[in-house]
Amino acid sequence: MTIPSARRGLMLVLSSPSGAGKTTMSRQLLAQDPGISLSVSVTTRPPRAGETDGVDYRFVSHAQFEALVAEGALLEWAEVFGNRYGTPRAPVEAALAEGRDVLFDIDWQGTQQLRQSQAGGDLAAIFLLPPSMQALEERLRRRASDAEEVIRQRMARAADEISHWAEYDYVLVNDDADMCLAEIQAILAAERLRRDRQTGLVSFVRALLAG
């Protein structure tokens, strides 16, 4: 008898305040797990040095972004520091139907919208907390990529983002990067084994009982 392997893909969300590690964790997870790919967002912000259109983001004009919203072509979208970011619907829904997992590096607003979408049942959301607000500010300063005013804005926004921690399925404190990544991998492994995601399980059990 063939053991069931077919399953529906899942959407794995990683959210955190800026500087708390979601981008680092996302990159490490993608590097170590070929079974999950990053959702490429569309954005109205200009490309940064080293970014490639279609790989890091799809860079669009404000008018193009508005058209995507009007067409219902985005699963979620939000405005952050004056720029808009959104998740294209079609590639995500195609991946889930084919049993492929998709990783999202988005904030709490986007996570809420994903829950409310047609694909919301395929969502597993993780929120990463810093060990302390002081540690968060130190991480932002070590990056040396933001002006003082931007750091103050990010710290102010961090408090608002952290207030939404209870809306997530899992909450991890990113104090040790290796441990945090291991915990994320354990969550992903468990979510992949959920009964309602194993689409071949019903026929397997029926055949099992039929002898």
Looking at residue 186, which CATH number applies to its domain? 3.40.50.300
**Residue 147 structure tokens:** 């002006």
Question: Residues with Cβ < 8 Å from 105, sequence gap 6 or more?
Answer: 14, 15, 22, 23, 26, 38
pLDDT at position 144 is 62
Render pLDDT for 84-125 as a digit per residue (tens, 0 to 9): 999 999 999 999 989 999 999 888 988 999 998 867 789 999
Within-domain flag for 193: yes
CA atoms of 22 and 27, how far apart (whole Å)? 9
Within-domain flag for 6: no
Render pLDDT for 199-211 as a digit per residue (tens, 0 to 9): 889 889 999 999 7
Within-domain flag for 186: yes
Within-domain flag for 115: yes
Find the domain containing 134 and state its range: 11-39+99-210
Within-domain flag for 197: yes
Within-domain flag for 179: yes
Cα dihedral 127→68→119→105 (10° resolution): -20
**Total number of domains constituting the chain:** 1
Q: What percent of the chain has pLDDT over 90?
A: 60
pLDDT at position 127 is 97
Within-domain flag for 78: no
The pLDDT confidence band at residue 21, using thresholds 50, 70 and 90, is confident
pTM here is 0.85
